[in-house]
Structure formats: structure tokens, C-alpha cells
Amino acid sequence: MLSVNRSGEQIGPYLVRERIGQGGMAEVYRAYQPSVRREVALKIIPLESATGQTVLQERFKQEAEVVAALEHPHILPVIDYGISDQVLYIAMRYVRGGTLRDLLEQQPLGQELAVRLFGQIAQALGYAHRRAVIHRDLKPSNILLDDEKNAYLADFGLAKMLSDVSQLTLTGAVVGTPAYMAPEQLRGDPVDHRADIYSLGVILYHMLVGRPPFEGPTAFSLIYQHIEKAPPPPHEFNPDLLPGVEHVLLQALQKAPADRFDTAEQMAQALTEALMPGLERLPGVASALPDRVLVPGAGFTLAPGAGLTGRKSVLQEMGVREDGRLLPWHRGLLLRQWPAFVVMAIALALGLWYILSGPTGAAPGLRATLLAGQAGTPEDVVASEAEVALARQALGSTGFIGYVICNQTSEFFATMARRLSDASAAHGLAFRVYDAQTDANEEIIQIERARTDGARALIVCVVDSEAVSRTLRSAAEDGLALVLHNMDEPPPYPAVVITHDDYALGQIPGRYAGQLVQEELHGHAEVVILDFPDLPSIVRRADGLEDGLLAVAPEAHIIGRYRGGTIALARQSVSRLLADGVAIDVILSINDAGAYGAIAALEQAGIAPSAVIVTGVDAEAVALQHIRQGYFMRATVAVAGERIPAASINAIVKQLAGGTLPQIIVVPPGDLFTAETVSD
């Protein structure tokens, strides 16, 4: 164990305050970064205590680079890393809720919290695996919690790039924590992502049962049990555990990797299905419904003995398919472990109530026409007074427009929610906000909650299009008007997509940078473009940056496109170029965050603010301040201002009123901000 307490020291730009964690090679401190007035978690590895410092530095560098490239809501983000006074350090976001290990030691988790935390961890792990990264040291102490008990996967110090041929550990070496490690890892065999699936199974076992599957007085005892012994059946420790949940745990803990789940998402899906009751069918529900009832405004009828047809289904609203089967999310949330006759009675009673009451005063039989795959502008969806009146009638006295927001902690999304609310109020339309907390599972829950509350239309900031596709398709099939943000392509179900002209968003600041190159640098400049190749829409924006620049300054030289998009990634890319002696005159970033990272690298290299031209996209307050002060940044463009919320509400109105509209609404860029246009 490390004995030197570094509280009170300064390491790099950080003032060390108190030690909050300690391991065999590393310590974690709460530290303070005065330049931006924030607390960070600072992980420190003393170089003098290590055998083979070159290998250690390479492993540490790998951790920082791997995690900096992983952008996921439940992976703890890296802010900075470096070497200072014979220590390696890495600065990460500081979360105050402790670790999952602390939580497990304090109290029983309960099934609801355990399943929620597991879902967040599985999402993060699946995201890392899809990017060819395995963790190799999953354990409760490497899962951090915030004040709201949201989980963040941390400490990729033992991660290995699957595509990387370099080996940082000796053949046969055991790296990790034996209590949570896969058998093949403990044997020193080569491992792949399924070793993480095993560790995930051990963690889920611990959360649901109250103890890990194997315990012993020594590390050797634990290793022997993981390699040779079958895990104790979980119901021996938790008799209330459903058999399906036990099956999920035991499959994840199979000795052979091929017998486990192949992905974390598969395991999460299996757990969701296992939490459903054993009841598979509700006999007689469809035939017990009335012969034929017209539901005003819903666009469907009931036929004798056949349930519902058309745009909505009361059976689906109640969690029952037309063939009598339960829909998955209702199995898990509404019908868990209820007797069949109780479920049938409740579903039938609620279904009849819905049919007989119906939306008050709704406009009967209106159906919107979406021009599939066709793109339009906000002007194409401006709603008339007659359409607004029909939309009010369709909502009735209890219906409303629900906005499922990506999160409520971002200034951008908070402003979007306010503007949507204002636009709804201007039309006399009820409006409610549901917070997805940047979590795909939570977004599904919030969409379903809005539907249960009576939403007749939804505006959704899509967190993960694949994860929520089934839920959104169900809402569309049930006749809800849908407007989706944050999607590159229109979905295969009825919904309007509001998107940006990303090429134009890049072209505008690119052309302005070209003007500056012509005026200030005589047409010649060495230019870096900060891109984010994982997202096609952002690549189009980077194309716009390059084309805009070269259209005005054709003699400018593009050094290359480098990974940006976040402060950490951009800083890393620009720092490497500067360290290699590359001269840079202009940096074009696909967003303001990347511009901040570039500026941090330029600052660290001692480059004067007037020596490099930097542009961004988003028109954030910090970017505007930099432009106003002449501090590196010379321009940034607003994404769309108030046009997105106005177009979103208008698109909802036209759908509720049965109008015709394009499926894709492309919102042009907002204003370009420069030193000439930014006011004090």
C-alpha cells in the first residue's frame, strides 16, 4: 500500500486536497483546478515506486487515451492527464456519491436500484466493447455514483485495445481483482470482451444476492473457485429471486466464454425479460371487448371479437398485444408477478374505460400525411389558425404534448425546453417535460410515462436511436404525433425528424476563416480541422469547414483532420501536433467544445492568442466571450436559435390536425458571431 499522503501538494495545475481512494499502485485524490474553479478526481501513480517505468507510463498513457475517446453518459470522462514531479496523473470528473462498493457495504440494494444500476453499467460496457475496448478490471469499486445514484464506469487503467497488437502485460500474468475476474483471465489465458461479461455477472450477482458468488480467505481460494467450482444457485441466498433472473446470472458466470452472453446488451435484455412474470398470455381479453366502438380522434374502430384495428390499440395501451400476449415493458413494469385473473381484470377494466371515455372533443378520424424521406424547411410546417384549433381539439381537455428532453443539466437543452414550452403556450397547447437524464433506458421509461399520463404527441431528444426504436415505433403505431431531434436519418415509422444543415454549419465559419487567411496571412496558412468521424452528420460539418475555407483561400494547406468534438480529444490532438513540431495557423473545430480543447493545448505550448485563428460552432457563452476578448477564437455560428422549437411545435400541430408535411425538416444555421458582431 502507498504510504505518502499528497494532500496539500500541487500536481500539475491541480491543488491536491484529500485522499479518497487507494490501491496497490495508484491513489485517488479530490483536487481543485483553480483556472476553471472546479473539483476533480485526480488519480496519481508515483513513478519511483514502479518496476519497469517505461511499461507503466505506456499503460497509463493508454488509460488516458482510451477513456478520453469514450464518450458515453455512464463512463467517467477524462479531463486531463500528464507527468509532474515523478508522478503520473489523470484528472477525471469528480462525483460525490462514492462507489458501488461503498453502497453494497452500507445497505441492501433492492431489486429496483440494482437493475437500474446494472442497466447503466451494461450500456457503458457495451459502448466500450463496440469500440474494441475491454475493461478487464470490472468491480464495484470501479463503478462510481453521483448524488442521484447514477453509475459511472471508471478506471480503464487495465483496458486493452482489441485491435492493438502491443502487449503491456507478460504472458500468463494475472491483472485485475480475483473476486470479480473470469476464469480464463485468472489462468493467464488470452481474453476478449466476454471476460467483462463474466465480471458483469459477478457484480449483478452481488447486487441482487447481497454477496459475490465466491468468497474465501485468500486470493488463491478465490482463484480456485472461479476456475473449478460452479457458483452457488442465487436463490439459496435470495429466495425471492425469479427463476429467469437466476438463469441470467448463471449464464453470465459460465466457465467457457462461448457459453456466456455475447454482449452486455444481450445480458441486459435477458434480465429485462426475466423480470417479466411467468404469465405469457391473457386468454379471452380480446373477445371480451365490445363489438364495435368508434373512438373519436383516434382513427380506429373495434371489430367483433378481434380487438382493435387502425392507428391505436387499447390492448397495446394496456400492455397486451392483439394476439393476447403481454408487451415486454408492461411485463416488467406493470404486471410483475401478478396473478393472471388480476391482470386480465385490470387490463379489461382500463381498456373499457379508455374506450368509453375517449379524448374529449377530439377531431374525429384525422390522419396526417407524411411525405416519406422528403426534406423541407421550417416554412413548410408553419401551422394555420385552423390547424391550431384542430390540434387543440385533438388534445382535448386532458391531452398534452410531451417533451422527452435529453437532460436538464445542459444550458442548451434547458433553453430548448423553455422555448418549446413558450411555443406551445402561444398556441394554447398543454405541454410537459420528461427528463431522460442522457440515459437510453431512462428515456424509454419517460416515453412510456408520458404516454401513460395521456400525451397525444411527443417531441423526443433521442439519446440512442437503436435502443428506443421499438418504443417510438409503438408510439407511432398507436397514433401519437412524433417529432424527433438528434437523429441523422428518418426512422421507418411515422415521425418527423428535425435536423440541421450540418454542411452549412461548417461552411459558414469555414468561409469566414478563409477571409481572415486572405486578409491577414496573404492567402497562405497551415490549417487543422477538428472532426469527429464516428458521426456522419459531423463529418458533413467538417466537409463544410474544409470546403468553405478553400473556396475563399484556395492556397491554404490542410494539414489534416484530427479527432475533436470534446475538450479532452481536441486538446490531445492539438498537443500531439505541437509536440511533433507542426506549425499551425488556423484551427477549424466542428463545435465550440473542441475549440476550447485546442485553445488549452495552445496555451500549454505558450502560443500567443493572436498567433492562431480558431473557429467553432454552437455560439456558446464562453466562445462569445473569447471572441469579444480576442482570445484565439475569431468566430462561431449558432446552430438554429429559436427555429428548432418553433418548427417542432408546428410539426406537431400539423400532425394532430391531419395535415400534410415532409418527414424531414432541415433547419438552416443561425447567426455567425465575430468580433464585429459580438456586443459587450
SS3 of 282-327 = CCCCHHHCCCCCEECCCCEEECCCCCEEECCCHHHHCCECCCCEEC
Q: What is the DSSP string of 571-618?
A: HHHHHHHHHTT---SEEEESSHHHHHHHHHHHHHTT--TTSSEEEEES
Q: Between 517 and 48, whose confidence is greater?
A: 517
Whole-angstrom distance, CA of residue 616 vs CA of residue 510 = 9
Q: How do the residues of the chain divide into helix, strand and coil, expressed in percent and rounded to 5?
A: 40, 20, 40
> What mean pLDDT comes out for the span 665-680?
86
The residue written with cell numbers 469566414 in the block is 512
* pLDDT, tens digit, 9 for 90 and up, residues 620-659: 888 898 999 999 999 999 887 678 999 999 999 999 998 8
- For residue 552, give the nearest of 507, 515, 521 by alpha carbon: 515
Burial class (CB in 10 A: 0-12, 13-18, 19+), 500: buried
Within 8 A by CB and 6+ apart from 654, the residues are 368, 381, 383, 387, 660, 661
Please, are residues 140 and 104 in contact by the beta-carbon 8 Å criterion? Answer: yes
The phi, psi pair for 278, rounded to 5°, reads -65, -20
Report pLDDT for 90.
85
CB atoms within 10 A of CB 85: 12
- Which domains can be identified in the chain, with CATH numbers? 1-94 (3.30.200.20), 97-165+172-275 (1.10.510.10), 286-357 (no CATH), 369-494 (3.40.50.2300), 502-637 (3.40.50.2300)
> Residue 299: pLDDT above 80?
no
Report pLDDT for 190.
86
* Type and span of the H or E element at 638: none
% pLDDT > 90, the chain = 42
Q: Going along 334-451, which residue ranges are E strands?
A: 369-376, 400-405, 431-435
Give the sign of the dihedral formed by CA 534, CA 536, CA 541, CA 546: positive
Please, are residues 176 and 158 in contact by the beta-carbon 8 Å criterion? Answer: yes
- For residue 284, give the nearest of 320, 309, 338, 332 by alpha carbon: 320
Q: Between 677 and 641, whose confidence is greater?
A: 677
Whole-angstrom distance, CA of residue 99 vs CA of residue 151 = 9
Whole-angstrom distance, CA of residue 510 vs CA of residue 462 = 29
> Residue 286: pLDDT above 50?
no
* pLDDT, tens digit, 9 for 90 and up, residues 186-213: 888 888 999 999 999 999 999 999 999 9
Report pLDDT for 157.
53
pTM of the model: 0.46
Helix axes 621-629, 592-604, angle to 10 degrees: 50
Q: Between 316 and 512, whose confidence is greater?
A: 512
> What mean pLDDT comes out for the span 668-674?
90
Q: Identify the weakest region by mean pLDDT among 119-123, 287-291, 396-400.
A: 287-291
The residue written with cell numbers 401478478 in the block is 338
CA atoms within 13 A on the CB side of 509: 37
Whole-angstrom distance, CA of residue 137 vs CA of residue 661 = 51
* pLDDT, tens digit, 9 for 90 and up, residues 357-377: 443 333 334 568 888 888 888
3-class DSSP assignment, residue 438: coil
Q: Which are the catalytic amino acids?
A: 137
> What mean pLDDT comes out for the span 594-615?
94
Whole-angstrom distance, CA of residue 624 vs CA of residue 633 = 8
Q: What is the DSSP string of 377-399?
A: -GGGGPPPHHHHHHHHHHHTTT-
Q: Between 177 and 356, whose confidence is greater?
A: 177
* Type and span of the H or E element at 330: helix 328-333
The phi, psi pair for 380, rounded to 5°, reads -75, -10
Within 8 A by CB and 6+ apart from 466, the residues are none
Within 8 A by CB and 6+ apart from 655, the residues are 368, 370, 457, 481, 482, 496, 661
Whole-angstrom distance, CA of residue 317 vs CA of residue 321 = 9
